[in-house]
C-alpha cells in the first residue's frame, strides 16, 4: 500500500492542532506543575533547583526557563542513581508506586540509566506511542508484528501497549528468529511491522533468501521504524522492500516513550509531540538556541511523567528543527528534519571535514550488493583515516568484490569528501536494536 | 492541508462526563476492596491520559491518592 492510501487523522485533534500561542501557554502551565511536583517530591531536583536559586514559582516564562534552568547530563543521572541504587535521589514519587522497571543496555561502557514508571506514567507513555502510530495510519483493524526482544531495554515496549490501546491485534515476537518472523508476517497477514531500520532491512533480505517477495506477498502497509537514525536512502530501501510506508519515530529510556513521529504525509521529518515535551535545539559550543534550519543538539524536557522526571536533558541527538507549516497534515507541532540526524558525540572532524557515521550508511544503502558494514576511525601513518569494512550479499561472486570495493570507495569520496580505506569482510555483526557500526580508535579510551 | 483530516471535538457534555468519570475513579482508587482499587487505579491512569490529551485540566499525581 502506498503512503497516499493510508488513512489520515489525529489521535487527539485538540492537542495536535492547537494554535501555537495556546500551545506555548499549555507548555508553560504543564511545566510549572512538573517543576512543583519535582521540587516537592525529588531530593535530586529540589537540590538542583535550590542550588540554582530557582524555585518553581520563579519560572514565569518558557524563555526564563531555557535561560536559567541548568542543563542535565546523563552522567548526573547515573551519579544520582549511584547514591542509593537503583534510582537514588531522582524519584519524585515513592518507588512503591512503580509498576515497571527499565534500563539502558550500558553497552557503551557507561553505567546504565535505570528508570521506573507508575501506572499513570505508563498510560501516558502508551498514549504517546498511540499518537505516533495513529498519525502513520495505524488503525484498530490492523495486525502488527513487533520485532523486539522484550527485555530490560524499554525499546518497543510502549508501542506494544500503544497498539493495544488503538485496538490492533499485536504479535509480540520476542525471541523469534528472522525466518520465523517473516513466516508470521505472511501467515498472519500483518499490516504493520515495528522494528529498527536495520532490522527491517534484515527481514527483507531474509525473506528474499526464503524466496518471498514481501512487497507482493505480505500485506504490510506501515513499517514503524525506531531506535536508530534513519537516512533517506534506508527509508526508501525499506519502503521498496515492503511496498509500505516507513514512518520514523524516536524515543528514549530517560523519557519512557517517544517524543516525535513521522505522519502519513511523509514530510521528510518527524513532528515533535509539543504538548508533552519542550524541545530546545542549541549550538553545542555556545549552548545558545539555534533557529529553524540550523543543526544543533536536542535538549529535552518531558511534561508527562510523574515518577522520574527530566528537565532540560542534554540528549546528544543532532537535529534540525523546521516549522510545522512544512507539513500538510495540519498539525501545529514543529518538525525535526530527517528525524535524529546523528549523535553529537559521534560527530568528528576528519582532516577538516565534518563526518557522521550515518553519512556512510546513506551511501551503503544505495549499494544493493552490500549487506552489512562497519567503520572505524584510525591513525594510519599519523593521519586520521576512515576505514570501512563492507560485507557483500551472501552468494555473490567473490570475483566481483574488488570492483565493488573500488566503486564504493569512489562514491564515499564523492559524497563525503573523504578518501576511505575500504576492505571486503565477512561475518560482520548484525543488530536488532541500537546498531553500533562506528568506533573511534584514535580516542584515548580506545587504546586503554 | 489534506481534506481527509477530520477534526472531531468533544461536546461540552462529554467533557463534563470525562471529568466526572475521572473524579469517580479517583474515589474508587482508595476502595478497601483490592480488586476494585487496582482496577480503578489503572483506569484513572488511562482517563488521565485522555484528559491530558484533550488539553483539559490535569492535576493527577498518583501519590495524592495513595
Q: Is B31 on the interface with A (CB under 8 A)?
A: no
Give yes or no for a contact between A162 and A146, defined as CB atoms under 8 angstroms apart: no
Of the candidates A290, A293, A261, A288, the residue with the CA atom closest to the CA atom of residue A274: A261
DSSP string, A219-248: ---EEEE-SS---HHHHHHHHHHHTSEEEE
Closest CB to A12 among B46, B53, B62: B53
Distance CA A374, CA A391 (A): 9
Q: Write down the pLDDT at residue B57.
A: 66
Is B35's pLDDT higher than 80? yes
- List chain A residues with pLDDT less than 70: 1-3, 107-109, 433, 444-448
DSSP 3-state of A155: coil
Of the candidates A185, A148, A144, the residue with the CA atom closest to the CA atom of residue A167: A144
Q: B-chain residues within 8 Å CB-CB of A8?
A: 2, 4-5
Mean pLDDT computed over B4-29: 92
Residue A405, Cα to own-chain centre: how many angstroms?
A: 31
Give yes or no for a contact between A176 and A187, defined as CB atoms under 8 angstroms apart: no
**Beta strands in A303-339, from DSSP E residues, in sequence order:** 313-322, 335-337
Q: How large is the ipTM? A: 0.91
pLDDT in tens, A190-204: 999 999 998 999 899
Distance CA A95, CA A97 (A): 5
- To the nearest whole Å, the CA of A97 is away from the closest chain B CA by 8
Q: Write down the pLDDT at residue B59.
A: 64
Of the residues A14, A92, A94, the best mutation for testing chain B's interface (the one with the most B CB atoms within 10 Å of its CB) is: A14
Q: Is A300 on the interface with B (CB under 8 A)?
A: no
Q: Write down the pLDDT at residue A444.
A: 62
Closest-CA residue of B relative to A332 is: B1
Segment holding A82, helix H or strand E: helix A74-83
Q: Is B1 on the interface with A (CB under 8 A)?
A: yes
Amino acid at each position: 500500500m502506498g503512503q497516499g492510501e493510508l488513512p489520515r487523522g489525529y489521535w487527539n485533534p485538540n492537542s495536535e492542532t492547537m494554535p501555537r500561542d495556546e500551545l506555548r501557554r499549555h507548555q508553560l502551565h504543564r511545566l510549572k506543575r512538573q517543576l512543583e511536583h519535582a521540587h516537592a517530591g525529588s531530593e535530586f531536583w529540589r537540590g538542583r533547583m535550590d542550588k540554582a536559586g530557582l524555585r518553581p514559582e520563579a519560572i514565569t516564562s518558557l524563555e526564563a526557563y531555557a535561560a536559567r534552568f541548568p542543563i542535565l547530563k546523563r552522567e548526573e543521572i547515573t551519579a544520582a542513581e549511584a547514591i542509593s541504587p537503583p534510582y537514588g535521589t531522582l524519584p519524585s514519587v515513592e518507588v512503591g508506586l512503580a509498576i515497571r522497571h527499565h534500563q539502558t543496555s550500558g553497552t557503551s561502557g557507561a553505567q546504565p540509566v535505570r528508570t521506573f514508571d507508575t501506572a499513570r506514567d505508563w498510560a501516558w507513555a502508551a498514549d504517546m506511542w498511540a499518537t505516533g502510530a495513529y498519525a502513520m495510519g495505524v488503525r484498530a483493524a490492523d495486525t502488527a508484528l513487533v520485532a523486539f526482544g522484550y527485555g530490560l531495554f524499554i525499546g518497543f515496549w510502549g508501542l506494544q501497549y500503544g497498539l493495544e490501546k488503538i485496538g490492533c491485534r499485536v504479535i509480540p515476537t520476542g525471541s523469534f528468529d528472522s525466518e520465523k518472523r517473516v513466516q508470521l508476517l505472511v501467515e498472519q497477514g500483518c499490516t504493520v511491522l515495528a522494528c529498527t531500520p536495520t532490522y527491517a532491512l534484515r527481514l527483507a533480505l531474509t525473506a528474499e533468501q526464503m524466496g518471498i517477495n514481501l512487497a507482493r506477498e505480505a500485506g504490510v502497509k506501515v513499517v514503524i521504524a525506531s531506535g536508530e537514525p534513519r537516512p533517506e536512502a534506508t527509508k526508501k530501501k525499506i519502503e521498496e522492500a515492503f511496498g509500505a510506508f516507513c514512518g520514523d519515530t524516536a524515543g528514549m529510556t530517560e523519557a519512557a516513550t517517544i517524543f516525535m513521529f513521522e505522519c502519513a504525509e511523509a514530510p521528510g521529518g518527524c513532528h515533535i509531540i509539543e504538548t508533552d515535551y519542550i524541545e530546545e535545539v542549541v549550538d553545542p559550543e555556545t549552548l545558545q538556541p539555534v533557529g529553524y534550519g540550523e543543526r544543533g543538539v536536542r535538549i529535552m524536557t518531558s511534561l508527562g511523567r510523574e515518577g522520574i522526571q527530566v528537565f532540560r536533558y542534554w540528549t546528544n541527538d543532532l537535529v534540525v528543527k523546521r516549522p510545522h507549516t512544512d507539513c500538510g497534515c495540519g498539525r501545529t507541532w514543529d518538525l525535526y528534519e530527517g528525524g535524529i540526524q546523528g549523535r553529537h558525540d559521534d560527530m568528528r572532524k576528519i582532516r577538516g571535514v565534518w563526518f557522521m557515521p550515518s553519512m556512510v550508511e546513506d551511501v551503503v544503502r544505495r549499494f544493493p550488493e552490500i549487506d552489512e558494514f562497519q567503520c572505524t576511525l584510525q591513525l594510519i601513518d599519523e593521519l586520521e583515516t576512515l576505514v570501512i569494512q563492507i560485507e557483500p550479499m551472501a552468494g555473490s561472486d567473490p570475483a566481483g568484490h574488488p570492483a565493488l570495493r573500488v566503486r564504493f570507495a569512489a562514491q564515499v569520496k564523492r559524497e563525503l569528501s573523504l578518501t576511505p580505506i575500504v576492505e571486503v569482510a565477512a561475518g560482520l555483526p548484525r543488530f536488532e536494536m541500537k546498531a553500533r557500526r562506528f568506533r573511534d580508535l584514535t580516542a584515548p579510551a580506545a587504546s586503554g | 492541508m489534506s481534506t481527509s483530516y477530520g477534526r472531531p471535538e468533544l461536546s461540552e457534555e462529554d467533557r463534563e462526563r470525562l471529568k466526572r468519570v475521572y473524579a469517580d475513579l479517583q474515589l474508587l482508587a482508595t476502595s478497601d476492596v483490592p480488586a476494585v482499587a487496582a482496577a480503578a487505579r489503572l483506569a484513572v491512569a488511562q482517563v488521565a491520559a485522555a484528559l491530558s490529551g484533550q488539553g483539559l485540566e490535569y492535576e493527577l499525581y498518583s501519590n495524592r491518592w495513595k
